[in-house]
Structure 1
Amino acid sequence: MYVPRPHLSDLLKREQRRLQLLCAPAGYGKTALLREYLRGEAIWLSLAGLPQTLDGLSGMLACALGLAADTEPDVLLAMLDSRNLETGQSHSLASQLLQLTAFPCRSWLASDEARPDNQDLMLRLVFDDLPAQMPTDLNHWFDQLLALQNPNLQVLVTCRRRPDWNLPHLLLTNQLLELDARQLALRPDEFESLVSLLAPETDTASRETLWHQTGGWCAGVRLLPSSLLSPYLERELLTRQSEEQQEVLFGLAHLSKASADLCEQLWEGQQGGRVFRCLLDNQAFLLPIDNQPGWYRLLPAVAQALQGRLSGAPLNRLRLRACQLLNVLGQVDDAVEQALSADQPEVAATYMERLWLSWILSERHLDRFMDWRERIEPQLLQSSPRLIYLCAKALLFSGRLDEAQACLQGLGHFLPLPDPQRNRRLLANWQGLFGTLQALRGNTQQARLHCRAALQDLSAQDWLSVLLCHCILARIAMQTADLAEAQALLQHSLELARRQGCHESEVLVNIDRVRLMMLQGDPDQAHSLLCTELARLGGRRAKPCPLLGRLLFLHGEWLLQQGQTGEAEQVAQAGFVQVRDCCAPFVLHGYLLLSEIASRNQDPKKAHLMLYEAERRMHWGKIDRACYQGPIAAQKARIVQREKTLESAKAPARSSGVPDYQDDLTPREVSVLKLLAEGMSVREVGSRLCISENTVKSHAKNINVKLGACRRTQAISCAKAMGILA
């Protein structure tokens, strides 16, 4: 069962180089790809990764070409370099080679189907599954083969280790095309096609799990659901490694990442760094980690299959040594994980203090931190102000407000500090977090008061607290329609995040900026910024990325605002793929979006179901009611209002001619709503209608209440759905 790979076949056909090299671990479909590509004639030698000699391989090739098996290697090169192939003489040796129809000595045509026009004069030599190690004279012979002047000769090689040939020269002279595991891995659409062929009943969650475990590794997709993966790895991976390489590989199966330096110290008596580099050369399923040069991780499916090979006391010793070394090498989060796995919570808590405060913002670190918190005794997490700050911030971001407040109370045990400046900073950081807590509970006045007070004493070292306070104040400003203040605060936050080089913080600030642009009636600029951030975070990732999910939900909101409900639903579903099992309050936005889409599609049952699922997800994440009850209630009101509107539309028109849904909106409120929908600011609406800005804000607030909306954009969208606005 094979899934066609047309984009790779087209690449091989388009990039006609002297050497086309497919170098990847076992099971990436190298042989199948060449069979798909080579639909015409080719000289194909299946080497099965077995050791080869110069005389043996040249004899095999000579036999495949219809020559005597004892043809000298140099003579064979001279024949392959025959210039007659260029002139097209019908009786030349080259022409005869191209017209061969049967090849003994374990070789065959790539396909039984010849090209219909038979005009392709290329002589293609395929060396399938080249051995990892070859003698010097055989490597030299291949260098001579690749240096031949015959322009109609092409060599195609599949292997699991890069051959020791003059590849740099071929690359510099544009004669090399190389495909590695990342390029040969299945794309998402190909993965879906293969799973649908193998097990069409597989649900979405299982598909996502399989994808993240295999990363598009074709053999893994086929074998992981069965019990055959371990025997496959035994045959295709372990038998090709030495005993010391196997020992290191079994240890790597328990580490989330590794480098040559780490392995050198973990297995110092066995030259672990050298062994690790050999495993890399042998294509032992070690994948480079993005943005971390020199660090690799074992493919999860392979790691899972090999973990049983090391256990007990040897595994515990490895973990303890690994956590120490990872901490020294700056990989603090991985050091924490190894310490916990070795049942050393005190050591883990000590390492947690060394985490960067911005660490929680990236990837799935929030979930990881919350998992650690469940595995470490509370008194250990209250042992320093920094740990308390980290825990409180994680709890706030997770929507667990009561726990966050209890955690913040622990800072009082460290007050007052002997140093007055440090004392003020500690209090200011407490106020920043407490202001955030109040904002999440909807107490805007208290939130504003504490955040502004915190900003007076926070120093440059507390940049993340400064950024947090500015973002909270900006959101409050957007809620009160003070868009100019919100813009100034977010611009300052953006500059701060950039100066600190924190991309995650920059994305979070830009999410608020997109919402501000949508409120300002500038959808084009909002979309441009969204696309920029999506491009920076986009692409199919090895792991889910909650930050990307957050962006996708916002993109779905933008699409819905533009009336593109179908596209909005697709984007929302893509967002849920990224936030799978995530326990943060922002996941609510995805459910609200799907609920609104279903409601607009006149499917109230599905709309209410999405809200039920949202509430269930919030309960599962132990998220405080203040974070979700209001938005869910507002969405329920919109669904009910839309249902009433639809029923009214089916009923006979009233004598007044005024639709039912406008009974609650005064003429002045309708006028304000129409101008806001045109993108006018509060000041511009007031000027147009000759009323004060405060009056406009009062009308806007009443409109939101009557339409069951929380924000201006929601009120406008709801009004359009109800027919109040065109």
Structure 2
Amino acid sequence: MCLSTLSNLAIADGDLWRARGLNRESLELAQRVGNPLFEALAHYDRARVLQARGEICRALEEVRQGLQRLQSLSAQRLYAVRARLTLYEGFLLALRMQPQLARVRLQAGLSEARACRDISVLIGHCVIARLEGSSGEFAKAFAELAEAERLMHIWDVPPIYYLAMITLVKCELWLAQGRTDLAEAWLARLGQTYNGENAAAPPEFHPQLPLHIELQQALLEVIQGQPMLAEGRLNALLEHGQQSGRQMLSAMALTQKVALLLGSGREPEARKALAQALDAAGGGVLQPFEGLLAEHPDWLRGQLQLCPPTPVSLSLSEKLPALASRSAVESCVAAEQLSARELAVLRLIAQGCSNQEISDQLFISLHTVKTHASHINSKLGVERRTQAVARAKELGVLG
């Protein structure tokens, strides 16, 4: 257990090689003792280091080896280690953009973790909240976070262990909703706490929290029309990721930079950044490309066709939405079929308004707003509101 704690501290400090060595030593000791629980915990810690390095596929293998070590134990008994491994498997599957499989593993892990009163439930609820947010189900996303907070209160867990994790996910959801005032206020607080003078240590389950705060801050700056500030922040994160071997951090910073460059009309630089992002994602992480898949599918398809085929580029090509293959004529015809009221709803969606805010501004029921939104998605050939806005901008529907 001491080696596990030291490994977590090494990950937080960015010393992934030291963490790797500590985990190897931990696994060797566990194998000498012959305790499957200790062996499983060692595999869990090794998976966390691999994930920080961007080696998502290898991390998944490590988690599954840990679960195999526990197969000899009674299936009727509950084990916190098994819950953590199962939840982490769900988290890694989400990084691989396999949401259905991820949900199955997350729910299984949550069930066992709750029964064990293990704080790892945070992983499950936060990842599910992100999945719901990606689907535009913000009410469900916030409900997941509220349930996590409720459990922490009931179990008397000190806020320092969970509050920052939950708040950061809330900031991500607020930015997706266009509620920049809330995101700005809370990101400032998080930044001051974890990146300012006398910075606090990050929580156990999110040793890279300070870096993810910076990623969200960069996204906020783009939304607020400060692309130069955002680019400087992303470049600093990229340099840190390259120096510390945090390939996943590099991939996340680079994909955000690609979107920023495309939005600034700097397409040649965006192509170069995408090539770097694909290289950084070589270990199997796909989730950082989620925004590009939704907002720039046609551009991304064209670039992937020009790249040498790799497991990551092939996986991304398979996940491109169907709208990318539709002809411009078909899309324009669909866009022209939008009614005046649907266009009004679409414009408010583009401004970041929630369904309730749209209902209040247009004096229509919440049910009618949802119906219009569904019709808009159908006519534009998309599944989510973010895709609808991106597609409408491509077609010039929003001016």
Same fold per superposition (TM over 0.5): yes
**Counterpart of 1:667 in 2: which secondary structure?**
coil
Residues 330-479 of structure 1 aligned to structure 2 (within 5 Å): 351-353=2-4, 355=5, 359=9, 362-364=12-14, 368-370=18-20, 372-373=22-23, 384-407=39-62, 408-417=64-73, 420-421=76-77, 423-459=78-114, 463-479=118-134
Amino acid paired to 1:401 = I
Greater Cα offset, 546-555 or 470-479: 546-555
| Structure 1 residues 352 and 512: alpha-carbon distance in aligned structure 2, compared to 1, 3 A threshold | same
Which residue number corresponds to residue 309 of structure 2?
none
**Which residue is 2:34 aligned to?**
none
Hey, what's the Cα distance between the residues in 2 that align with 1:672 and 1:367? 51
Q: Write the distance in 2 (CA, Å) between the matches of 1:560 and 1:660.
A: 32
Question: 1:570 — aligned with what?
Answer: 232
Opposite residue 457 of structure 1, the aligned amino acid is E
1:624 aligns with 2:284: yes
Matches for 1:644-655 after TM superposition, within 5 Å: none
Distance across 1 between alignment mates of 2:288 and 2:378: 20
Q: Distance in 1 between matches of 2:398 and 2:86?
A: 43
Q: CA deviation at 1:561?
A: 1.6
Q: How far off is 1:637 after superposition? A: 3.3
Greater displacement, 558-567 / 695-704: 695-704
* Aligned counterpart, 1:155: none
When residues 676 and 633 of structure 1 are mapped into structure 2, their CA distance, relative to the original with a 3 A threshold, is: closer
CA contact (8 A) 2:6 2:19 kept: no
Give CA-to-partner distance per residue, 1:52-107, whole Å, 9 cap, x none.
xxxxxxxxxxxxxxxxxxxxxxxxxxxxxxxxxxxxxxxxxxxxxxxxxxxxxxxx
Tell me if the contact between 2:10 and 2:19 (Cα under 8 Å) persists in the aligned partners.
yes
Q: Are residue 550 (structure 1) and residue 212 (structure 2) matched?
A: yes
Question: CA, structure 1 residues 700+512, in 2 after alignment: closer, same or farther (shift >3 Å)?
Answer: farther
1:478 positional shift: 1.1
1:532 Cα offset (Å): 1.0
- Kindly indicate whether the alpha-carbon contact (under 8 Å) linking 2:91 and 2:127 is maintained by their aligned counterparts in 1: yes
Amino acid at match of 2:231: E
Deviates more, 1:511-520 or 1:662-671: 662-671
Distance 1:399 1:378 in 2: 21
Residues 700/636 of structure 1: CA separation in 2 closer, same or farther (3 Å cut): closer
- Structure 1 distance, partners of 2:152, 2:52, is 18
Q: 1:696-711 to 2 correspondence within 5 Å?
A: 696-697=373-374, 699-700=376-377, 705=382
The one-letter code sitting in structure 1 at the alignment partner of 2:91 is: T
Once the two structures are TM-superposed, the CA of residue 612 in structure 1 deviates from its matched residue by 1.0
- What secondary structure, in the 3-state scheme, does the structure 2 residue paired with 1:415 have? coil
Q: How many Å separate the matches in 2 of 1:627 and 1:723?
A: 28
Quote the offset at 1:496 in angstroms. 6.1
One-letter amino acid of the counterpart of residue 19, structure 2:
F
Note the C-alpha offset of 1:403. Answer: 2.1
Tell me, in whole angstroms, the C-alpha distance in 1 between the residues paired with 2:344 and 2:329. Answer: 16
Q: Give the secondary structure class of the aligned counterpart of 1:458.
A: helix
Q: RCO (CA 8 Å, sep 6+): is it higher in 1 or 2?
A: 2
The offset of 1:358, in angstroms, is 6.3
Of stretches 381-390 and 602-611 in structure 1, the one that deviates more from structure 2 is 381-390
What CA distance in whole angstroms lies between the structure 2 residues aligned with 1:454 and 1:419? Answer: 14
SS in 1 for 2:353: coil
- Of residues 297, 308, 312 in structure 2, which corresponds to 1:637? 297
Q: TM-score, normalised by structure 2?
A: 0.70
1:663/1:690 CA distance change after superposition, 3 Å = same
Tell me, yes or no, if the aligned pair for 2:40 and 2:70 is still in contact at 8 Å: yes
One-letter amino acid matched to 1:519? A
Tell me, yes or no, if structure 1 residue 611 matches structure 2 residue 271.
Answer: no
In the alignment, which of 353, 356, 360 is matched to residue 680 of structure 1? 353
Cα shift at 1:596: 2.1
Contact between 1:599 and 1:639, CA under 8 Å: does it hold in 2? no
Q: Name the structure 1 match of 2:254.
A: 591
- 1:432 deviates by 1.8
Residue among 517, 520, 539 paired with 2:174 = 517
Counterpart AA for 1:637: P
TM-score by length of 1: 0.41
- CA-CA distance at 1:555 after TM superposition: 1.3
Match of 2:313 in 1: none
1:656-675 equivalences under 5 Å are 662-663=332-333, 665=335, 666-667=337-338, 670-675=343-348
C-alpha contact (below 8 Å) 1:598/1:606 kept by paired residues: yes
How many residues of Structure 1 are paired with residues of Structure 2 in the alignment? 352
Change (3 A) 1:497 1:697: farther
Higher strand share goes to which structure?
1
The answer to whether 1:480 aligns with 2:140 is no
Shift of 1:367: 6.0
What is the one-letter code of the residue matched to 1:667?
L
Cα deviation, residue 490, structure 1? 1.8
| Inter-partner Cα distance in structure 2 for 1:526 and 1:360 | 29
Q: 1:35-54, aligned counterparts within 5 Å?
A: none
Counterpart amino acid of 1:472? Answer: V
8 Å CA contact retained: 2:40, 2:69: no
Cα distance between partner residues in 2 of 1:475 and 1:701: 24
Specify the code of the residue in structure 1 equivalent to 2:96.
R
Q: How far apart in 1 are the matches of 2:7 and 2:377?
A: 39
> What CA deviation, in whole Å up to 9, does each residue of 1:575-606 have, x standing for no partner?
33543434252432321222222222222100
How far has the Cα of 1:573 moved from its partner? 2.7
For the residue of structure 1 that corresponds to 2:97, the secondary structure is: coil
Compared CA separation, residues 636 and 473, structure 1 to 2 (3 A): closer
**Unpaired stretches in structure 1, ≥5 consecutive residues:** 1-349, 644-657
Q: Which amino acid aligns with 1:573?
A: N
Tell me what 2:315 maps to.
Answer: none
**Following the alignment from structure 1 to structure 2, what is the Cα–Cα distance between the partners of residues 583 and 368?**
13
What's the CA shift for 1:529?
Answer: 0.7
Q: For 2:221, what is the secondary structure of its paired residue?
A: helix
Is the partner of 2:210 in helix, strand or coil?
Answer: helix
CA contact under 8 A between 1:549 and 1:575: conserved in structure 2?
yes
Per-residue CA deviations over 1:368-416 (Å, capped at 9, x if unaligned) read 424655x659766766222122223443454433323322233323334
**Amino acid corresponding to residue 266 of structure 2 in structure 1:** D
Distance in 1 (alpha carbons) for counterparts of 2:8 and 2:378: 36
Contact 2:254 2:274 in 1 (8 A): yes
Q: CA deviation at 1:615?
A: 1.6
Q: Per the alignment, do residues 631 and 419 of structure 1 end up closer, same or farther by CA in structure 2, a change over 3 Å counting?
A: closer
Aligned-partner residue type, residue 674 of structure 1: R
1:595–1:608 contact (8 Å) kept in structure 2: yes
Q: What secondary structure sits across from 1:463 in the alignment?
A: coil
Q: Deviations over 1:499-519 (max 9, x none)?
A: 644747543332211111123
- Alpha-carbon distance in 1 for matches of 2:173, 2:101: 23
Give distance in 2, aligned partners of 1:713 and 1:563: 18
SS of residue in 2 equivalent to 1:607 = helix
Is contact 2:128-2:144 (8 Å) kept?
Answer: yes
Query: Does 1:530 pair with 2:192?
Result: no
Is the CA contact (8 Å cut-off) linking 1:685 and 1:696 kept in structure 2? no
SS at match of 1:579: helix
Which AA in structure 2 matches 1:677? Answer: A
Provide the C-alpha distance between the structure 1 equivalents of 2:381 and 2:240, rounded to a whole number of angstroms. Answer: 31
Deviation of residue 531 (structure 1)? 1.0
Q: AA paired with 2:65?
A: Q
Q: 1:456–1:661: structure 2 CA closer, same or farther, 3 Å change rule?
A: closer
Task: Report if aligned partners of 1:463, 1:496 keep a CA contact under 8 Å in 2.
Answer: no
Distance in 1 (alpha carbons) for counterparts of 2:380 and 2:18: 42
Q: Deviations over 1:82-136 (max 9, x none)?
A: xxxxxxxxxxxxxxxxxxxxxxxxxxxxxxxxxxxxxxxxxxxxxxxxxxxxxxx
Deviation at residue 530 of structure 1 after TM alignment: 0.9
Match of 1:323 in 2: none
Structure 1 contact 381–391 (Cα < 8 Å) conserved: no
Aligned-pair CA distance for 1:475: 1.3
Q: 2:373–2:385: 8 Å Cα contact kept in structure 1?
A: no
